[in-house]
Amino acid sequence: MVKVKTKFLCTDCGYESPKWYGKCPGCSAWNSMVEETEKVVKTQGVSTGIFHTKEKPLSIINIESDKEPRIKTGIEELNRVLGGGVVPGSLVLVGGDPGIGKSTLLLQTSHEMAHIGLKVLYISGEESMRQTKLRAERLGALSPELYVLCESSMDGIEEAIESVKPDFLVIDSIQTVYLPEVTSAPGSVSQIRECTARFMRIAKGQGIATVLVGHVTKEGAIAGPRLLEHMVDCVLYFEGERHHSYRLLRAVKNRFGSTNEIGIFEMNESGLVEVSNPSELFLSERPLGVAGSTVVASMEGTRPMLVELQALIASTNFPSPRRMATGVDSNRLNLIIAVLEKRMGMYLQNQDAYVNLAGGVKLDEPAVDLAIAVSIASSFRDIPTKPYDVIFGEVGLTGEVRAVSRAEQRVKEAAKLGFKRVILPEKSLKGWKGPEGIQLVGINSVAEALAVALD
């Protein structure tokens, strides 16, 4: 018997309800309930779609913990973000804004994987095979082991997987794939959930490294149920500004590696090119001898990066001054301004404050606090900082400067790029010695930092 059932699902948390709510009872999100109609087929004692294993429970100390094998993708920046390479049988979700370069990155990755002798199946539900071939010719991604298919039916995709037996599978995108048994439209909560579960069984059962491309909403989150991110092994976000040529690949979930790593690429006519030294990219257009400009040393995972931080302090025409931050946390900006007013005696209540990280990069670690304070003071007093200084440190509410992690790696990156002096927390100097040719100045408070940087 076939019974038509109507229900409402929350696109954020997957909460199911027989009636519509303006506010989801599960996650309190507004206007997230969508209507779906499905056909329920009653079978006599037969359970369909259930994945069952006959393994018995084992003590955790008796389970073999061999290191998982990894496949090098041929793109070092992608290997860094994934934790060393793609794990066979893993399920990876890649999200990003339209036109940011997701398909370009995965087509280049597919070519590199096929170049080392692996069978690769690239399935596109949004482009025809001819369009994919034209893009591959532009990118130089032509290989006899790279198979391309334009298909959106889950049954057709499974037949192609059974025929090709690939080692690496790309689905572009998961929102276009549908199961005929589920009557809702492609891209709906039910379709995404069921299709992802089917791909998960294929990846784990056959040991195929699978990459799913996901659309994102206007808020920047991956479209579909939140359950999608919980089901996969790794979630990557491809970020970047349309007015800049570089792109950032960031991991927000990774069961096989760290989530602090980022990969940096530059988009040009021949596709995405790896950026091995991002510090040179972010400092290439830095002005020298300008008030409000400093260089901060930040850590993204295990990679040190030097970025130019700019601040502009200007008189306001409004009763309440503006505080705008691009690339740094606006709450940290307000905190540092309050410290400068209370501890340093700077009257900033009638001044607009604008802080920007050049190049559009985003940093959220507290080590940029001291550079923000020095940049604001430099612009407020109209005194330029030294062009070959690097500054980093965490600022406390009493005006003290606290130690930060991996100071030695930050200093080595500054020395490699030719900087002459580093202003850093004094407590970060314990236990190591800096490289030759660079002066290390340890400070304990914001007042000491301003006295050194703006002398």
Query: What domain range is 344 assigned to?
Result: 281-453
pLDDT above 90: percentage of residues in the chain: 61
Tell me: do 243 and 100 sit in the same domain.
yes
CA 433 to centroid of chain Cα atoms: 33
When divided into structural domains, the chain yields a total of 3
Res 50: pLDDT: 47
Tell me: do 161 and 232 sit in the same domain.
yes
Domain boundary among 276, 301, 318: 276
Domain boundary among 251, 276, 301: 276
In 3D space, the residue among 30, 391, 38, 316 whose CA is nearest the CA of residue 180 turns out to be: 38
Tell me: do 257 and 319 sit in the same domain.
no
Res 390: pLDDT: 96
Tell me: do 173 and 286 sit in the same domain.
no
Instruction: Say if 191 falls within a structural domain.
Output: yes
Contact residues for 430 (Cβ-Cβ < 8 A; gap 6+): none
Amino acid at the residue 97: D
Instruction: Say if 152 falls within a structural domain.
Output: yes
Q: List the binding residues.
A: 96-103
Res 13: pLDDT: 74
Whether the pLDDT of residue 53 is over 70: the answer is no
Instruction: Say if 329 falls within a structural domain.
Output: yes
Q: What is the CATH number of the domain that holds 434?
A: 3.30.230.10
Tell me: do 204 and 137 sit in the same domain.
yes
Tell me: do 256 and 285 sit in the same domain.
no
Q: Which of 5-9, 107-111, 379-383 has the lowest mean pLDDT?
A: 5-9
Grade residue 38 by pLDDT with cuts at 50, 70 and 90: low
Q: List the binding residues for ATP.
A: 96-103
Instruction: Say if 46 falls within a structural domain.
Output: no
Res 46: pLDDT: 39
Tell me: do 268 and 300 sit in the same domain.
no
pTM for the complete prediction? 0.78
Amino acid at the residue 293: S
Instruction: Say if 187 falls within a structural domain.
Output: yes
Average pLDDT, integer, range 412-426: 94
Res 47: pLDDT: 38
Tell me: do 267 and 294 sit in the same domain.
no
Domain boundary among 215, 244, 276: 276
Q: 181 near 213, Cβ under 8 Å? A: no
Tell me: do 227 and 303 sit in the same domain.
no
Q: Are strands 303-315 and 293-300 parallel, antiparallel or unpaired?
A: antiparallel
Res 98: pLDDT: 87
Q: 325 near 357, Cβ under 8 Å? A: no
Instruction: Say if 448 falls within a structural domain.
Output: yes
Tell me: do 28 and 140 sit in the same domain.
no
Grade residue 43 by pLDDT with cuts at 50, 70 and 90: very low
Cα–Cα distance, 284 to 277 (Å, whole number): 11
Sign of CA dihedral 9, 92, 267, 290: positive
Whether the pLDDT of residue 62 is over 80: the answer is yes
The model's pLDDT over 314-362, given as tens digits with 9 standing for 90+, comes to 999 888 999 999 999 999 999 999 999 999 999 999 999 999 998 778 8
The model's pLDDT over 191-245, given as tens digits with 9 standing for 90+, comes to 888 899 999 999 999 999 999 999 887 777 787 777 788 899 999 999 887 667 7
Please count the other Cβ atoms lying within 10 Å of the Cβ belonging to residue 249. Answer: 26
The model's pLDDT over 137-149, given as tens digits with 9 standing for 90+, comes to 999 999 999 999 9
Instruction: Say if 104 falls within a structural domain.
Output: yes
Please count the other Cβ atoms lying within 10 Å of the Cβ belonging to residue 421. Answer: 16
Contact residues for 66 (Cβ-Cβ < 8 A; gap 6+): none
Tokens for 103, please give them: 């398909």
Tell me: do 200 and 290 sit in the same domain.
no
Tell me: do 425 and 409 sit in the same domain.
yes
Res 170: pLDDT: 96
More confident residue, 15 or 74: 74
Strand ranges in 173-224 using DSSP code E only, listed in sequence order: 209-214
Res 48: pLDDT: 42
The radius of gyration of the chain from alpha carbons, rounded to an integer in Å, stands at 26
Instruction: Say if 56 falls within a structural domain.
Output: no
Q: Which of 42-46, 171-175, 326-330 has the lowest mean pLDDT?
A: 42-46
Q: Average pLDDT over the chain, rounded to whole?
A: 88
Q: Are strands 33-41 and 2-10 parallel, antiparallel or unpaired?
A: antiparallel
